[in-house]
């Protein structure tokens, strides 16, 4: 789920290009004087960045809430101006590389330099080529559709609906393979994109683009790679049990001739175009059919909750922790419903337009529990943005890329039956053991199934960027990783004539994916720490921190640091530890783990 919550990383990723020395002189932006100290440079960068933030935020907000030809021009010009400024500043920042600087100054300069996901070579022709390729790849993905033998053409959302709803093996196969016809034309251009971006990363002092990406975590790239592997090993036992059970149930539905019980699961049977989350096959996996779940949808409809009331419900949770109510401008300027008179981007996102009090969300809210949870998640971004507003502009952002996504997700873990009943969204808080297992299965099909996918996307790219995965081996390496981590396989033969990585948005759009893997880990670690502060006793899955001022105070202390210090320091403020720890996931899903082990007894697990 893409969010607009921290500019230095997210916004630069959509259009930053390189800038030669000649370009800098003609850019019309302020240039650093020879006598400018590093501290003076950072102060100037902060001031200029803050001004540009307001201008670019407003342009992008208008573009997202009024989709017209004119707003496209306004947004494009603002982004071009910002890209020019950023590349100019990065070129100037290099002069301080060999100087002894105080930690805050060095950190600000490093964050500035790491703020692009696709550094361009300092060559006008190559810079233009990289920008054009990036634009073309995103545009081609966005316009992609599959036309079947009857010449019926369907867009990605339409194809996704089929995968979510159909239980016809052949229909699912047709749709799955059909979407992957859009990506082979991207292959040669993606290869060239990698060459150019690697050259740009090299000019900034990195071995390749993957090394540059892994340098943004307050540890060496090698240490971070090992850290990601360590976290995965902590959660793998739970994933293995889930995989074994899901494979067995799918074998019952489609037949063991189609779903062999000693190998990977065919990728098109998991309810999602990329097999990244499996929630849409919950109806096939429900442990105790007929046992009542969390029917919040009925309450929302019966009480006719308006979008604004649903947002007030989310705000009240944060207020119960001791945080302030959102500014009045939030309610005046946010978009809660789809306007009837114009096209908008309905994809949920959280915004800060002045990095101070102009907070907003943009959604087309429906009366469903899923939408309500998204609102709670989005306000997590808003409260994080509000908490670090007093930091210098270059420190506006999450402690590392995974923190921002994890905040709101942590809060949604506290939307327990007891909490929902207390605030009038559920008739009763009573939950049988069977209902608990059902609820945990639904959560695991989303959060646990996602983990290996969240890790392997960037692992594939790290290999591509380093050259360990050659262009002649793009597709084979992709499926090797998907089978290794997820235990899935393509349902039909794939060759190097295919380019299946390009069928996932984040590859042609060049958006790093590790943040989502880390967020899935951190939210449970955060929740365990907050529940301890709140004095919760009993199973972690039953904990809600609603109303705990003590938990809120600890939460806020972490949020207000932004990116001003190493994430280890920030993490320690909340959890008391300096290491990310995935064991909290095992604690949280202890009831489900017991159920899965019982179900898998006698089965042949693994692949």
Candidate from 239-243, 368-372, 414-418, 587-591 with smallest mean pLDDT: 368-372
Which position has the higher pLDDT, 401 or 285? 285
Q: d(Cα 428, Cα 72) in Å, to the nearest integer?
A: 49
Q: d(Cα 144, Cα 244) in Å, to the nearest integer?
A: 34
Residue 35 is predicted with a pLDDT of 66
Q: Is the pLDDT of residue 464 over 50?
A: yes
pLDDT tens for each residue of 69-93:
888 888 878 877 877 788 789 889 9
pLDDT tens for each residue of 488-508:
999 999 999 999 999 998 899
Handedness of CA 37, 38, 40, 45 (dihedral sign): positive
Q: d(Cα 369, Cα 31) in Å, to the nearest integer?
A: 52
Candidate from 45-59, 107-121, 164-178 with smallest mean pLDDT: 107-121
φ and ψ of 134, to 5 deg: -60, -40
Q: d(Cα 109, Cα 55) in Å, to the nearest integer?
A: 22
% residues pLDDT > 70 (the chain): 94
pLDDT confidence bin for 578, thresholds 50/70/90: very high
Residue 533 is predicted with a pLDDT of 97
Residue 168 is predicted with a pLDDT of 97
Q: d(Cα 585, Cα 592) in Å, to the nearest integer?
A: 11
Are the C-beta atoms of residues 378 and 318 closer than 8 Å to each other?
Answer: no
Residue 84 is predicted with a pLDDT of 78
Per DSSP, helices labelled H in 217-325 are 221-254, 282-285, 296-302, 307-320
Kindly state the average pLDDT of the residues 295-313: 94
Give the three-state DSSP class for 364.
coil
**Any idea which residues carry the catalytic annotation?**
347-348, 377-378, 381, 405, 506, 516
Q: Where are the domains of the chain?
A: 7-132, 296-434+515-580
Candidate from 147-161, 180-194, 247-261 with smallest mean pLDDT: 147-161
Report CA dihedral (248, 458, 507, 563) to the nearest 10 degrees: 120
Residue 430 is predicted with a pLDDT of 80
pLDDT tens for each residue of 15-67:
332 233 233 333 333 444 446 999 999 999 999 999 999 998 998 899 888 88
pLDDT tens for each residue of 520-556:
999 999 999 999 999 999 999 999 999 999 999 999 9
Residue 140 is predicted with a pLDDT of 83
Q: Is the pLDDT of residue 362 over 50?
A: yes
DSSP string for 179-204: HTTSSGGGHHHHHHHHHHHHHHHHHT
Kindly state the average pLDDT of the residues 248-260: 97
Residue 7 is predicted with a pLDDT of 43
% residues pLDDT > 90 (the chain): 73
Neighbours of 494 (CB within 10 A): 17
Question: Would you put residue 48 in left (φ > 0), alpha (ψ -120 to 50) or beta?
Answer: alpha
Give the three-state DSSP class for 371.
helix
pLDDT tens for each residue of 316-331:
999 999 999 999 999 9
Which residues does residue 266 pair with via DSSP β-bridges, in sequence order?
A: 489
Residue 21 is predicted with a pLDDT of 29
Neighbours of 213 (CB within 10 A): 22
Candidate from 20-34, 197-211, 253-267 with smallest mean pLDDT: 20-34
Are the C-beta atoms of residues 508 and 532 closer than 8 Å to each other?
Answer: no
Are the C-beta atoms of residues 275 and 486 closer than 8 Å to each other?
Answer: yes
φ and ψ of 425, to 5 deg: -100, -5
């Amino acid at each position: 789920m893409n969010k607009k919550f921290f500019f230095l990383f997210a916004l630069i990723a959509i259009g930053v290009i390189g800038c030669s020395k000649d370009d800098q002189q003609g850019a019309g932006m302020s240039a650093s004087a020879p006598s400018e100290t590093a501290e003076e440079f950072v102060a100037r960068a902060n001031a200029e960045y803050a001004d540009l933030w307001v201008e670019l935020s407003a342009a992008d907000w208008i573009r997202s809430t009024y989709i017209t030809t004119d707003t496209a021009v306004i947004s494009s010009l603002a982004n071009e101006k910002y890209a020019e400024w950023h590349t100019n500043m990065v070129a100037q920042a290099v002069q301080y590389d060999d100087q002894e600087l105080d930690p805050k100054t060095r950190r600000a300069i490093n964050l500035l330099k790491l703020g692009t996901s696709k550094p361009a070579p300092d060559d006008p022709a190559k810079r233009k080529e990289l920008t054009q390729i990036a634009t073309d790849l995103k545009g081609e993905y966005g316009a992609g559709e599959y036309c079947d033998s009857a010449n019926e053409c369907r867009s990605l959302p339409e194809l996704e609906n089929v995968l979510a709803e159909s239980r016809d093996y052949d229909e699912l196969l047709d749709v799955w393979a059909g979407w992957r016809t859009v990506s082979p034309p991207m292959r040669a251009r993606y290869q060239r994109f990698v060459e150019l971006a690697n050259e740009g990363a090299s000019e900034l002092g990195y071995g390749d683009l993957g090394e540059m990406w892994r340098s943004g975590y307050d540890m060496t790239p090698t240490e971070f790679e090992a850290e990601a592997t360590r976290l995965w090993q902590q959660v793998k036992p739970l994933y293995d049990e889930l995989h074994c059970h899901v494979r067995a149930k799918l074998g019952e539905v489609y037949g063991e001739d189609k779903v062999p019980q000693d190998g990977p699961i065919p990728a098109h049977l998991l309810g999602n175009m990329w097999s990244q989350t499996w929630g849409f096959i919950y109806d096939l996996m429900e442990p105790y059919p007929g046992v009542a779940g969390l029917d919040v949808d009925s309450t929302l409809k019966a009480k006719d909750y308006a979008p604004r009331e649903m947002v007030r419900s989310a705000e009240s949770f944060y207020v119960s922790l001791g945080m302030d109510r959102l500014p009045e401008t939030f309610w005046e300027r946010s978009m809660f419903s789809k306007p009837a008179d114009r096209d908008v981007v309905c994809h949920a996102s959280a915004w800060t337009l002045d990095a101070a009090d102009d907070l907003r969300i943009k959604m087309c809210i429906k009366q469903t529990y899923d939408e309500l949870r998204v609102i709670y998640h989005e306000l997590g971004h808003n409260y994080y943005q509000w908490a670090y507003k007093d930091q210098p502009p270059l420190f506006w952002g999450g402690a590392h890329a995974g923190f921002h996504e994890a905040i709101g997700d942590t809060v949604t873990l506290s939307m327990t039956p007891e909490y929902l009943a207390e605030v009038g969204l559920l008739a009763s808080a009573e939950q049988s053991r069977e209902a608990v297992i059902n609820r945990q299965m639904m959560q695991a099909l989303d959060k646990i199934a996602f983990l290996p996918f969240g890790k392997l996307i960037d692992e594939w790219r790290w290999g591509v960027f380093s050259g360990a995965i050659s262009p002649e081996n793009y597709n084979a390496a992709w499926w090797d990783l998907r089978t290794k981590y997820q235990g899935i396989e393509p349902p039909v033969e794939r060759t190097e004539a295919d380019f299946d990585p390009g069928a996932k948005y984040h590859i042609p759009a060049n958006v790093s994916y590790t943040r989502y893997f880390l967020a899935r880990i951190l939210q449970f670690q955060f929740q365990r720490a907050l529940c301890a502060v709140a004095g919760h006793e009993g199973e972690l899955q039953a904990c809600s921190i609603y109303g705990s001022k003590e938990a809120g105070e600890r939460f806020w202390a972490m949020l207000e640091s932004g990116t001003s210090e190493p994430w280890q320091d920030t993490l320690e403020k909340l959890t008391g530890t300096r290491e990310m720890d995935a064991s909290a996931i095992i604690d949280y899903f202890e009831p489900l783990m017991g159920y899965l082990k019982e179900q898998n007894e006698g089965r042949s697990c693994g692949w």
